[in-house]
Each structure stands twice: as structure tokens, then as C-alpha cells.
Structure 1
Amino acid sequence: MAIAAVFEIPGMTQDQYEQSADKVTGGRGPVTSSADWPVPGLISHTAAPTPGGWLVVDVWESEEAFRRFGEIIVPILNELGVPNAHPKIYPVHTVVTR
């Protein structure tokens, strides 16, 4: 079952987000495609600034795929000084893509 992972990260900056994206792609720069992720299963990724930090909403094919990604992204975020980035997980009812 697909899941949505919603990260609301107070204090995270655009620079920290961009650095994390560069590390996720293995140093190839910003993420532009689901193929940029180091594990399969990403359906969509959206990131945006908020008044007090950063918002990321990912949709994954399964909770297991997201957990595999979590093993990669959590150490990256910790390294960048973004501790305690705990998402809220929701089961997805409908996914619409282009």
C-alpha cells in the first residue's frame, strides 16, 4: 500500500534541503526525477519553505520502501544539523500523476 510521508521541519533552511538533496543524488546536484533517489519506490516528492522551516511531502509505493530511504536520509539530515526530522505517515487512498 502506498504511503505519504509528511515532514514538517522547524528551523530547516533551503540550503540544508539543497545539501541533503545533493547527498541523496550522490553529489549530482538537485533531485529532478524519482530515479535520483538511492532506493526504488518513490512516487512523488514535493518540498517547500514554510514560515519557520521546511516542508517535504513524499509518496512512496510502500512503507518498506520509505524505511529503506529513511536509513539513508536520517544520517544525512543529522550530519547537516537537522535532528529529529520525524515524518507523519499516512496510508494513501488515491495517487494521481501526470
Structure 2
Amino acid sequence: MSIVVRFPVVGLTRQQYDEVSRRMEEAGMWPPDGMQLHVLFGTEGDLKVSEIWESPEQLRAFGEQLQPVLNEVGVQAAGEPEIFEVHVLEQLQTTA
């Protein structure tokens, strides 16, 4: 069962996001097993992250690796992530 996760981050900047991404890639932890989609959106200083995962267990396993990096970079959460079961997941291709 795939899940959609919306993370309630506070005041996320592009610099913080890029630093977390760099550290995760250097540590060989990116892309994580089970992540189907990762989206960064919003405005500078208020960026948001949503993801689709194959399972809650894979999300939890990655979260244990990610949390120390988020703490080091100063990324703060405003609570627990919102998690929703996926009912339909279609990958659409467009023609140019």
C-alpha cells in the first residue's frame, strides 16, 4: 500500500534543502529505497515537501536516517507528518 506524506516544516529555505540533499547524497542515502515521488514546492522561506512511498515501514526507516541530518541543518517540524493511503497512483506521460 503506497502512502502520501506531507511534512509540516517551518520556514524551510532553499539553502537548507540543498544542504540536506547534499549530505544525503554524499552519505549514499539518496534516493532512498521505497520512495516513489519527492516534491519540493512553495515560496522561499516557506518551502514544503511531499512524498509518495511504497510503504510506511520504508518511510520510517528513511526517517531514522534523515532526522539527524535535519537537526544538524536546523530544519524544524511543526508537528507530525500527515500520512494518507493512496487509492490511485498513475504515472502519465505527455507528448511534446
Q: What TM-score, normalized to structure 1?
A: 0.79
Is the contact between residue 8 and residue 54 of structure 1 (CA under 8 Å) also seen in structure 2?
A: no
The corresponding residue for 2:52 is 59
Q: What TM-score, normalized to structure 2?
A: 0.81
The corresponding residue for 1:32 is none
The corresponding residue for 1:41 is 34
Distance 2:17 2:45 in 1: 14
Distance 1:87 1:78 in 2: 16
Distance 1:92 1:44 in 2: 12
The corresponding residue for 1:15 is 15
Q: Determine whether 1:93 maps to 2:87.
A: yes
Helix, strand or coil: the match of 2:76? coil
Q: How far apart are 1:10 and its partner, in Å?
A: 2.1
Identical-pair percentage? 34
Distance 2:26 2:53 in 1: 20
Helix, strand or coil: the match of 2:91? coil
Q: Please, which of 47, 63, 68 is the counterpart of residue 75 of structure 1?
A: 68
The corresponding residue for 2:4 is 4
Count residues with an aligned counterpart: 91
Helix, strand or coil: the match of 2:89? coil
Structure 2 residue runs of 5 or longer lacking an equivalent are none
Q: How far apart are 1:27 and its partner, in Å?
A: 6.0
49-58 or 12-21, which moves further after superposition? Answer: 49-58
Structure 1 residue runs of 5 or longer lacking an equivalent are 29-34
Question: What RMSD in Å do the two structures reach over aligned CA positions?
Answer: 2.2
Considering only CA atoms, is the larger Rg found in Structure 1 or Structure 2? 2
